[in-house]
Amino acid sequence: MAQASSQLSALELPSVSWRRRHLLGLEELSAEEIRTVLEVASRFAQVPATAPLPELLQGKTVVNLFFEDSTRTRTSFALAVRRLGGEVIDFQASASSLSKGETILDTARTIEAMGVDAVVIRHRTPGAPHLLAQNLQASVINAGDGPHEHPTQALLDMLTILQHRGSLEGLTVALVGDIAHSRTARSNIWGLTRLGAHVILCGPATLVSRRWEALGVEVSYSLDDILPRCDVLNLLRIQFERQQSRPFPSVREYAHLYAMNRQRLEQAKPNVLIMAPGPINRGVEITADVADGSHSVILKQVTNGVAVRMAVLWLCLCVAQQDGQP
């Protein structure tokens, strides 16, 4: 315990200001708020996993309330909670009272009544976390609401870029692939543009619409055209399970036009970063040699995911003034 304390002070956490109890999306965050999360996460990322900080969430209980399967994100949140000394409860929504006619809000209120301090929710309906936030005393963290937002994913993407480039200001970041179904894309657009990056959305016309230009981003249908200008390529998975009709003739056709491979890497900037939110489909959006190559920071993103979630939980549960919540 003493070790943890001294480590905590060694961390020299910045004296942060944070007033939100909930993290629902990046759209609502100011540039200053995003910078605060990234600064805290960057400190947490320096703490070895084997030497956690068990005092920060001591006595707090966090529930993982996932209505869609997601072992990666759920595990990442669970590890974040445990490393800060909190308790984490997995609420298996599929096996739950919902099949007995209970509303999602009653489920969440019931969990809260058991003495839970934060609800990490994934749900296929956009706005589900917002509904909970309006009705619970507990903190609500959005772990993905349909195609809407996935704020911690975008924050971990941004932290990874920051660690390699020092700043997002003026960088060109391309989000490639299935923009239409991607909450990761939406959250990245809000976050990246707010911190001064230039965002390009790139993919087949069936998955990327010109309407996105209204958000201040560039839209392109040719990866080869934009490739030489990009500092970062974030390769989104084609979410076959969300498609109702085929958005392109074949996987081979998609890979031909949009997969990141060795030939394309030669056309890119020498220090281009290759990112992917995962799970990756080798041979579809990325070839194996690029995924495992020196430009890839895919596993670094995963590592940063835990640090970002530690930061979000600590800020919303411990730093936020209860009265400061909008």
- Tell me which residues touch its own copies (CB under 8 A): 49-52, 59-61, 63, 69-72, 75-76, 78-79, 82-83, 87, 89, 91-93, 95-103, 106-107, 109-117, 237, 240-241, 278-282, 284, 299-300, 302-303, 305-306
CA dihedral 39, 41, 46, 48 (to 10 degrees): 160
> What gap in Å lies between CA 119 and CA 135, rounded to an integer?
12
Q: How far is the CB of 216 from its own copies (least distance, A)?
A: 31
Size (the chain), residues: 326
Q: Which is nearer to its own copies, 306 or 313 (CB)?
A: 306
> In this complex, which beta carbon is closest to its own copies, that of residue 54 or of residue 126?
54
For residue 222, the number of C-alpha atoms closer than 13 Å in the C-beta half-sphere is 5
Closest approach, Cβ 301 to its own copies, in A, equals: 8
The sign of the torsion formed by the CA atoms of 19, 36, 141, 129 equals positive
Nearer to its own copies, 138 or 265 (CB): 138
Please report how close the Cβ of residue 232 comes to its own copies at its closest, in angstroms.
19
Residue with tokens 């000394």: 85
Q: Least distance (Å) from its own copies to the CB of residue 195? A: 24
Min dist CB 78 to its own copies, Å, is: 6
How far is 123 from 24, CA to CA, in rounded Å? Answer: 12
- Type of residue found at 110: T
Residue 73 and residue 145 in contact, taking contact as beta carbons nearer than 8 Å: no
From the CB of 269, what's the least distance to its own copies, in Å?
Answer: 25
Given a contact cutoff of 8 angstroms between Cβ atoms, the answer to whether 42 and 159 are in contact is yes
Give 75 or 220: the residue with its C-beta nearer to its own copies.
75
User: Would the CA dihedral through 124, 132, 108, 156 be positive or negative?
Assistant: positive
Q: How far apart are CA 16 and CA 56, in angstroms?
A: 15
Nearer to its own copies, 92 or 267 (CB): 92
Closest approach of Cβ 90 to its own copies, in Å?
A: 8
Rounded Cα distance between 12 and 7, Å, is 9
Please identify, using beta-carbon distances, which residue of 80 and 176 lies nearer to its own copies.
80
**Shorter beta-carbon distance to its own copies: residue 35 or 54:** 54
Please state, in angstroms and rounded to a whole number, the distance separating the CA atoms of residues 226 and 201: 10
Kindly give the interhelix angle for 151-165 and 298-314, rounded to the nearest 10 degrees: 120
